């Protein structure tokens, strides 16, 4: 497929699915890189590297149903192994095999591309649905100042190796004021590398950015809307499936908080379990793992905040990132901020003539 072939572009908002849940499983917080936008916060998330036994127990825990929305079974649960850099954990391969054995719906590994402990040799494409590589620029000149010297070369080599071995590969681009100008160059690079899915995400002001230059890294509505949808469409025309967060909603659009209507667990090695990623810099986690059981924490947690209804949409955005909002002369918000878990999916099908 190429850009000159006419296409039917299918654009859909991926609503939270009532019959699925996601386990974002941080199996350590250590990492060999020091990315400018890293959201990992060891003060809040600990410095433990989970051992094989604990990983297996926690996978078993989340393969069961929990809570009042407990319609879920392991076959409706997607697990995403994260870090830090998850391949630095020598127990990752065994964790993947255990998730497969337990019957998780899909298994993804998010990696910075360094692929430690020969992970590609220890698991098979039957066991991993996607290796998802983080790349924040189409050249070393753009990517490496953000992610670290040599990381472009290592990451793209890792992608090539994974594709050669038959793994499905996706790529994540974290857009900020440092690299948004380069986003339009990403689809052709990813296509050449053999990547099949492209996730564009917006920089979050948490972890390291919250302590430093975060606000200056944020993107305006105008910049986001002038670059991201068009790039996603071009990626789709090249045959990639592209996802990006909705971010901005018209005032009359329906707003839903994933913390209320969906089931997402962001699990950290110190046992904290959040249901909203924006809360991760604070001890607001709704659950914790105690003696290998999932325990609901008493108020005040993120759960109580989710129920507040405000015209600006996402409560946590209003509390933590008020710079994302704009008000008219009457003090009314000009738009709403969508839940950060709400995504647009862009796919192109060639028009056969």
Nearer to ligand SF4, 188 or 246 (CB): 246
> Of 128, 77, 120, which Cα lies nearest the Cα of 100?
128
Counting every residue written for the chain, the total comes to 353
Collect all residues with Cβ–Cβ distance below 8 Å to 329 and sequence separation of at least 6: none
286 touches ligand SF4 by CB under 6 A: no
User: 316, 275 in Cβ contact below 8 A?
Assistant: no
3-state secondary structure of 9: strand
202 touches ligand SF4 by CB under 6 A: no
Q: Smallest distance, Å, CB 33 to ligand SF4? A: 4
Calpha distance 218→216 (Å, rounded): 6
Considering only 31, 61, 189, 325, the residue that binds ligand SF4 (CB under 6 A) is: 31
Q: Smallest distance, Å, CB 40 to ligand SF4? A: 5
Q: Smallest distance, Å, CB 192 to ligand SF4? A: 23
Q: Alpha helix (H) ranges present in 129-243?
A: 140-147, 151-164, 186-193, 208-211, 214-217, 221-237
Q: Smallest distance, Å, CB 6 to ligand SF4? A: 37
Considering only 35, 107, 284, 289, the residue that binds ligand SF4 (CB under 6 A) is: 35
84 touches ligand SF4 by CB under 6 A: yes
Residue 248 structure tokens: 């901005």
Stretch that binds ligand SF4, among 5-13, 83-91, 119-127, 324-332 (CB under 6 A): 83-91
Q: Smallest distance, Å, CB 328 to ligand SF4? A: 22
Residues 124-143, one symbol each (x = binds ligand SF4 by CB under 6 A, - = not), give ----------x---------
Calpha distance 173→145 (Å, rounded): 14
State whether the Cα torsion 271-277-282-287 is positive or negative: negative
261 touches ligand SF4 by CB under 6 A: no
Stretch that binds ligand SF4, among 48-56, 61-69, 77-85, 235-243 (CB under 6 A): 77-85
315 touches ligand SF4 by CB under 6 A: yes
Dihedrals φ, ψ of 61, to 5°? -60, -45
| Footprint of ligand SF4 on 87-116 (CB under 6 A) | 112
CA distances from 105 to 120, 208, 243 (A): 20, 32, 20
83 touches ligand SF4 by CB under 6 A: yes
Stretch that binds ligand SF4, among 66-74, 156-164, 312-320, 343-351 (CB under 6 A): 312-320
Calpha distance 86→34 (Å, rounded): 15
Collect all residues with Cβ–Cβ distance below 8 Å to 180 and sequence separation of at least 6: 219, 223, 224, 227
Nearer to ligand SF4, 74 or 341 (CB): 341
> Of 329, 273, 338, 328, which Cα lies nearest the Cα of 301?
273
Calpha distance 100→317 (Å, rounded): 35
Q: Smallest distance, Å, CB 59 to ligand SF4? A: 21
Considering only 91, 340, 346, 348, the residue that binds ligand SF4 (CB under 6 A) is: 340
Considering only 26, 85, 268, 272, the residue that binds ligand SF4 (CB under 6 A) is: 85
> Of 12, 7, 46, 5, which Cα lies nearest the Cα of 28?
46
Calpha distance 165→153 (Å, rounded): 18
Nearer to ligand SF4, 159 or 339 (CB): 339
Stretch that binds ligand SF4, among 95-103, 116-124, 155-163, 335-343 (CB under 6 A): 335-343
Binding site for ligand SF4 (CB under 6 A): 31, 33-35, 38, 40, 83-85, 112, 134, 257-259, 276, 278, 306, 314-317, 339-341
């Amino acid at each position: 497929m190429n850009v000159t072939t006419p296409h039917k572009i299918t654009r859909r908002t991926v609503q939270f699915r009532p019959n699925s849940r996601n386990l974002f499983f941080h199996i350590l917080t250590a990492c060999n890189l020091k990315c400018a936008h890293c959201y990992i916060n060891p003060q809040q998330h600990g410095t433990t590297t989970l051992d094989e036994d604990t990983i297996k127990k926690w996978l078993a825990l989340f393969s069961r149903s929990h809570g009042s929305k407990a319609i879920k079974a392991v076959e409706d649960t997607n697990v995403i192994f994260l870090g830090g850099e998850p391949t630095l954990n020598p127990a990752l391969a065994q964790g993947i095999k255990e998730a497969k054995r337990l019957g998780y719906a899909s298994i993804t590994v998010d990696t910075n591309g360094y692929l430690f402990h020969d992970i590609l040799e220890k698991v098979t494409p039957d066991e991993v649905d996607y290796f998802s590589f983080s790349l924040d620029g189409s050249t070393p000149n753009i990517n490496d100042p953000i992610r670290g010297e040599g990381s472009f070369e290592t990451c793209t080599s890792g992608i090539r190796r994974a594709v050669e071995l038959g793994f499905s590969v996706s790529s994540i681009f974290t857009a900020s004021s440092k690299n948004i100008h380069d986003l339009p160059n990403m689809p052709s690079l990813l296509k050449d590398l053999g990547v099949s899915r492209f996730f564009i995400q917006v920089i979050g002001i948490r972890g390291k950015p919250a302590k430093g230059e975060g606000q200056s890294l944020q993107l305006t509505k105008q910049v986001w809307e002038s670059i991201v949808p068009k790039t996603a469409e071009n990626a789709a025309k090249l045959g990639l499936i592209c996802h990006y967060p909705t971010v901005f909603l018209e005032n009359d659009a329906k707003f839903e908080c994933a913390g209320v209507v969906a089931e997402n667990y962001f699990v950290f090695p110190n046992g904290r379990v959040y249901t909203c990623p924006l809360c991760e810099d604070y001890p607001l986690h709704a659950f914790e793992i105690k003696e290998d059981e999932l325990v609901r924490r008493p108020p005040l947690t993120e759960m109580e905040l989710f129920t507040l209804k405000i015209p600006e949409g996402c409560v946590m955005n209003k509390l933590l990132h008020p710079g994302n909002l704009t008000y008219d002369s009457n003090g009314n918000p000009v738009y709403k901020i969508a839940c950060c878990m709400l995504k647009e999916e862009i796919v192109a099908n060639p028009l056969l003539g």
